[in-house]
Structure 1
């Protein structure tokens, strides 16, 4: 009984309490807001499209309506070298799951300003884009009816799968990107997304991730709690990552233009 009580206490502190705080913050943030006519204009987070260099970005923003208490929605934006426009990919519950340029590349997600989860520019970005395009074209869960908000495959599963196609990218999605741990390729035990550890996923309903980039993450019904020792921080359901920030402000690796794309 002592072990059970300790387990229940830990669950309350690291799962229920953060979700309660996230719910309160959501009420404050969204009070009086109508999601259907919320601002979806550019947040000004991208270099000018006319700039000649290649660009890759991964963005995340709280999901629509009450689901924003629990999770963020991630999407991918890139621009090949010499291109004059950005291409945005989302994975959504309406229409064809893979949505091309359905929104402004760095647009607010129904009123919420996105954060930069990952950024690469110049040669590093140029080397990634063909792999990303191939991963998107070959994504297994691309048919009508494939989308499932929980435990996946959802928008975050899609982005995780595309990032998985780039060896050594050294990045992980936010802990509140529910669906990122869904086994998109059917492998329940595999290297962690960054390639610096391992991930056990029980169909997205539970699991464990341990890696140098990811730190320790425990997934219970899609909600992730954990700790990051590399950049000291805690990870909490609903609230995401709290602690030392990365060079792009999000707490994850950001290659510079001259790098190889690894951390």
Structure 2
């Protein structure tokens, strides 16, 4: 009883801190569209992906996240992956889209580094050069094996974050560390509650993404309570918190970055 009395105030303090920081930072677009609805929200390139023509000889794979549309942007992100093999002059993009037809895994649904309904994406993973073609092969195999291609639930999953977490588990060379506010990344069916963590670098126990624990080299130690994730990342020191994602050092994974990248 005394332990619960001491833990509860700390839990409330962390929730207040994380939601307060998310509100203060406001990851959503200042003006989502001229008419204020998702149909006209900006979807143009953010100018982040390197020019595929200029870097035609370089294999590239990147993972992005952006705040979800509307009020959900205070609490959650939408991720996607893009890649090109050496010799390609265009990117291929994959993400999961919950509306429309099935399957929910969509190829080239939008511009590779486009704004997500007005929200500017950030880079989680950026691998280029030698060895990346092999990573892309593994990514495509993981996409083909995604077990929830005809299922979608925004909460607790399977959703777009479940999809990227699946790729991260299958392709540990990506070193993908989805943030704490990637709601759905911890979704696991009741029949398979124990397995590899979303980064592919650790272990995870999770009941439908509603209650669980992850330990890994990339994600550190993370506790999931009803989809709210709390933890500590020792790889790139930071607190892992719901709504805001992380507070601390940036942990974007960059390898073989070309200094001549066009921004």
* TM-score range normalised by the length of the shorter chain: 0.7 to 0.9
Equivalent positions of 1:146-165 (< 5 A) are 146-165=151-170
Q: Does 2:70 correspond to 1:52?
A: no
Q: Does 1:229 find its partner at 2:231?
A: no
Matched, 1:135 2:131: no
1:40 to 33, 43, 56: 43
1:7 is matched with 7
Give distance in 2, aligned partners of 1:136 and 1:191.
Answer: 17
Number of equivalences: 251
Structure 1: how far apart are the matches of 2:198 and 2:127?
17
Secondary structure (helix, strand or coil) at the match of 1:217 reads: strand
Q: Is the 8 A contact 1:157 1:182 kept in 2?
A: yes
- Deviation readout 1:137-172 (Å, 9 max, x if unpaired): 2211112xx100011100010011112221443331
Q: Which among 78, 83, 86 is matched to residue 73 of structure 1?
A: 78
Secondary structure at the residue paired with 1:123? coil
Query: Structure 1 residue aligned with 2:130, among 123, 126, 129?
Result: 123
Q: Does the 8 Å CA contact 1:206/1:219 hold for their aligned counterparts?
A: yes
1:20-35 alignment runs, 5 A limit: 20-23=20-23, 25-26=25-26, 30=30, 34-35=36-37
Q: Tell me, yes or no, if structure 1 residue 114 matches structure 2 residue 121.
A: yes
How far 1:28 moved relative to its partner?
8.2
Q: From the superposition, tell whether residues 163 and 112 of structure 1 become closer, same or farther in structure 2 (CA, over 3 Å).
A: same
- Which residue does the alignment assign to 1:248? none
Contact 1:161 / 1:184 at 8 angstroms: preserved in 2? Answer: no
Residue 108 and residue 231 in structure 1: after superposition, are their counterparts in 2 closer, same or farther (change >3 A)? same
- Please tell me whether the aligned partners of residues 63 and 71 of structure 1 are also in contact (alpha carbons under 8 angstroms): yes
1:35/1:110 contact within 8 Å kept: no
Number of the residue aligned with 2:108: 101
Structure 1 moving runs of 4+ over 4 Å: 27-33
CA distance 1:48–1:18, shift in 2 (3 Å): same
Gaps of 5+ in 1: 246-250, 259-263
Q: What displacement does 1:186 show?
A: 5.2
Shift of 1:25: 4.3
- Flag the 1:32–1:169 CA change in 2: closer, same or farther, 3 A: closer
2-structure distance, mates of 1:185, 1:57: 31
Contact 1:35 1:64 in 2 (8 A): no
Shift of residue 252 of structure 1?
A: 3.3
By how many angstroms is 1:63 displaced? Answer: 0.6
The CA deviation at 1:4 is 2.4
